[in-house]
Amino acid sequence: MNEELKIASKLLSDFRNYASKRSSFFMSHNALPPVLEWHIQIWRKEVGLLGQGGNTLDLWSLYSQLDRELDSILADITNRVLTEATMDSFIFFDEFKKHIAKYKDEKIKVKENDHTYAQHFLGNFFRIFFEKIEASPDRRNIWEHYFPDSLKVHSATVVTDTLQHAVLNQYLPWAGGRIGRTNAKKEYDSSLDEVTENLFPEVDPILWAEILTFVFSPYNPKDRLKYVIEQRPLIFGSSRMTMYSGYVDDKEDSQKKATEFFQSVRESEKDETLKMLDSFIKIIPLFHQTFSKENLLDLIRQSEALTYPEDSENEERKKTLTEVFKELLAKLEKSVKQ
């Protein structure tokens, strides 16, 4: 068995070298389907051996090597699909969606801990996707037509959806790292903006960016709000493009209806943002701790002590965050009374 696995590892390495010289169509259409199936089968073997003791260590090591070879092949395919100006992204994401749908609930328990295939598979995928999608020649088609809807995050389902949990486990460390390392100089992060707007299609992009910036910024608890407002500028979060179509003979009435439409969209996005934050507080310890009742009361007190010029950006940010704090506090107090 060990010799066979060593040969299989060598063959996979040779296959990777061979496939890298072929067209991206070959990679997506011919190589991807079998590689995906090999990937789940090898993962099952590797994880299954974890809890069987020291006698299986050598065998586990060989399966782990096979898993790494397959990860590398999938990484090569993903990278080429995202960076080359071809139409092969449709084929890639079609196979990708089918694979995710088929194995989204796959898990193996090892010593009381669940190992989920979605976490493993999506971890490898998103490490490349987050960095490459913003510059991809086919990015608009990918986001609008090819990217799986099941991997977009929605406030109504994120609390219980295992795939969305797997997405957040990749997105939050990535986004938090980019936000946290930003200095006071405002350097717009187009990759972070691109990914965030599309992974969270229902929220207000600017309000959501404000909340994430607050959560992931380094801080001194005594003046956290002041520090975020004055030292942590927004580096992502642009208004979502919204189209309005409608024809009314009366120009004034038409303008009124358009204004009402855009106002309704803004209110809906704001409502969804607060619902998303509430869901995050339920499932993510960092958010639960950040927005505890004690912290919310303290943050509102901090807000009352801050004064900025009425029309300044700092004043606008203070009002925006304080409104969020008060909304969360009111909901907490209401839940306690019930």
Top-confidence residue, 26 or 278: 278
The pLDDT score that the predictor gives to residue 38 is 94
Tell me: do 273 and 129 sit in the same domain.
Answer: no
The pLDDT score that the predictor gives to residue 171 is 98
Q: Is the pLDDT of residue 52 over 80?
A: no
C-alpha angle 50-53-54 in degrees, rounded to nearest 5: 110
Let me know if residue 43 belongs to a domain: yes
Tell me: do 194 and 306 sit in the same domain.
Answer: yes
Top-confidence residue, 336 or 156: 156
Across the chain, what does the average pLDDT equal?
A: 88
Let me know if residue 246 belongs to a domain: no
The pLDDT score that the predictor gives to residue 192 is 96
Let me know if residue 51 belongs to a domain: yes
Tell me: do 166 and 120 sit in the same domain.
Answer: no
Amino acid in position 213:
T
Tell me: do 208 and 308 sit in the same domain.
Answer: yes
The pLDDT score that the predictor gives to residue 13 is 81
Tell me: do 140 and 282 sit in the same domain.
Answer: no
Dist. CA 313–CA 47, nearest whole Å: 51
Q: Which of 124, 151, 178 is the last residue of a domain?
A: 151
Tell me: do 34 and 79 sit in the same domain.
Answer: yes
pLDDT > 90: what percent of the chain?
64
Top-confidence residue, 116 or 260: 116
Domain that includes residue 311, residue range: 162-239+254-337
Q: Is beta strand 113-116 parallel, antiparallel or unpaired with respect to 107-110?
A: antiparallel
Let me know if residue 33 belongs to a domain: yes
Tell me: do 122 and 185 sit in the same domain.
Answer: no
Tell me the residue length of the chain: 338
Residue 240 CB burial class (10 angstroms; 0-12, 13-18, ≥19): middle
Let me know if residue 56 belongs to a domain: yes
Q: Which of 151, 182, 199 is the last residue of a domain?
A: 151
Tell me: do 120 and 212 sit in the same domain.
Answer: no
Confidence bin at 58 (pLDDT 50/70/90): confident
The stretch 192-211 carries a mean pLDDT of: 96
pLDDT > 70: what percent of the chain?
88
Q: Is the pLDDT of residue 179 over 70?
A: yes
The pLDDT score that the predictor gives to residue 50 is 82
Q: Is the pLDDT of residue 242 over 90?
A: no
Q: Pick from 153, 184, 183, 167: which is nearest to 279 by CA?
A: 153
Q: Which of 86, 116, 151 is the last residue of a domain?
A: 151
The stretch 95-117 carries a mean pLDDT of: 92
Let me know if residue 247 belongs to a domain: no
Dist. CA 154–CA 42, nearest whole Å: 32
Tell me: do 198 and 271 sit in the same domain.
Answer: yes
Q: Is the pLDDT of residue 252 over 70?
A: no
| pLDDT, tens only, 317-326 | 999 999 999 9
Torsions phi, psi of 116, nearest 5? -105, 135
| pLDDT, tens only, 124-159 | 999 999 999 999 999 999 999 999 999 999 999 999
The pLDDT score that the predictor gives to residue 304 is 95
Tell me: do 215 and 141 sit in the same domain.
Answer: no
| pLDDT, tens only, 273-294 | 999 999 999 999 999 999 999 9
Number of domains in the chain: 2
Torsions phi, psi of 205, nearest 5? -55, -40
Top-confidence residue, 181 or 85: 181
Maximum separation of any 2 CA atoms in the chain, in Å? 82
Q: Is the pLDDT of residue 244 over 60?
A: no
Q: Pick from 67, 46, 66, 68: which is nearest to 57 by CA?
A: 46
Tell me: do 145 and 7 sit in the same domain.
Answer: yes
Residue 169 CB burial class (10 angstroms; 0-12, 13-18, ≥19): middle
Tell me: do 135 and 182 sit in the same domain.
Answer: no
